[in-house]
Amino acid sequence: MNCIDRRLVGDLVALSRVEGLPVAEAAARLCMTRQGLYKILKTLREKGYVEEGPVVKLSQRGRDVLSAVLKDLLSYFNIASMKLSGVVVSGLGEGAFYISLEGYRRAIEEALGFTPYPGTLNVKLERQSLPYRRYLDSLPGILIPGFSNGIRTYGAVKAFRARIRGVEGAVVMPERTHHPTDVIEVVAPVKLRDVLGLKDGDRIEIEIYL
C-alpha cells in the first residue's frame, strides 16, 4: 500500500488555494515568506507535484493526490452522490456519432453495464451547480478507454453513474470535447428526450453517484 505524506497533502491543499498566482502574491495569501514558499515549490517541483513557471501551478501528479484526498473526504462524510441542475439544450450531433462507434459502445457496455442509446442529452448547468461540476473534474470516475480504428484515434472518457427522473444512465466527460465547461452530456440505455418528454429549455436535476 502506498502511503501519502501528510505534510505533502497539506502543502498541496495550501497551494491549490493560490494556484495561478505569482509566488510573491501567493506567499502573502498564505501568510508566509517568499523564501519559504520558494523552498516548498522547489521540493515539490523536484518530486513532480508542481510545474515550472512564473505562477503556482500543480502538476497532474499533484492533482491526482488531491483527487484521492477528496474521494476519502467524501466517503468520510458519507457523501455518496451530488445533484446538478440545468436546462436541456441541443448539441451538434457529435454525441450520436461518437456513441455509435463500436469502440465506445462496447467500452460503455463493459464499464457501465448497459448498451447506450446512440446519442447524448446535453444539459447546460445553472450557476450554482458549476462548483460541483469542478468536483467531478477532480475525481477519478469510471474510465472508458480511448481506442483506434486504424484510421483515427479517439480519446478516453471519464464517466459517473447518474440518474435523471428515475432513469439510470451516466454523465460522460470526454477527454476531447467542443462543449463549454458548463455543459455536460448524459448517456442512457434509452433516448432520454423521448422517455422523459424533454425539450430544449426544460429544467432537470441529475443525481450523480460518486
- Whether residue 198 sits in one domain with residue 101: yes
The residue written with cell numbers 519559504 in the block is 36
pLDDT tens for 123-132 read 999 999 998 8
- Whether residue 86 sits in one domain with residue 166: yes
173 found inside a domain: yes
- Whether residue 173 sits in one domain with residue 121: yes
- Whether residue 85 sits in one domain with residue 70: no
The residue written with cell numbers 446512440 in the block is 118
* Bridge pairing between strands 153-154 and 147-148: antiparallel
Q: Which domain covers residue 163, as residue numbers?
A: 81-209
- Whether residue 183 sits in one domain with residue 98: yes
1 found inside a domain: no
Domain boundary among the residues 18, 41, 76 is at: 76
Give pairs for 7-11: CB < 8 Å, separation 24+.
8/44, 8/49, 8/65, 9/65, 9/66, 9/69, 11/40, 11/44
The residue written with cell numbers 493526490 in the block is 65
- Whether residue 47 sits in one domain with residue 96: no
15 found inside a domain: yes
With a cut of 60, say whether residue 1 has pLDDT above it: no
Share of the chain above pLDDT 90, in %: 68
- Whether residue 96 sits in one domain with residue 45: no
Mean pLDDT of 121-149: 90
Question: What's the Cα-to-Cα distance from 4 to each of 47, 89, 177, 190, rounded to whole Å?
Answer: 13, 42, 33, 42
What is the DSSP secondary structure assignment for residue 47, as one 8-state letter?
T
State which amino acid sits at residue 153: T
Number of residues in the chain: 210
Query: Which of 29-38, 80-89, 106-115, 169-178 has the least mean pLDDT?
Result: 169-178
User: 173 forms bridges with which residues in the sheet?
Assistant: 158
Listing DSSP states for 164-183 in one string gives ETTEEEEEEEESS-SS-TTE
Domain boundary among the residues 25, 58, 76 is at: 76
Domain boundary among the residues 25, 52, 76 is at: 76
- Whether residue 101 sits in one domain with residue 178: yes
CATH code of 47's domain: 1.10.10.10
58 found inside a domain: yes
When divided into structural domains, the chain yields a total of 2
pLDDT tens for 39-89 read 999 999 999 999 999 999 999 899 889 888 888 888 888 888 999 999 999
pLDDT at position 2 is: 63
CATH code of 190's domain: 2.40.30.30
197 found inside a domain: yes
- Whether residue 59 sits in one domain with residue 20: yes
- Whether residue 96 sits in one domain with residue 46: no
- Whether residue 38 sits in one domain with residue 68: yes
For residues 131 and 185, the model is more confident at 185
- Whether residue 65 sits in one domain with residue 94: no
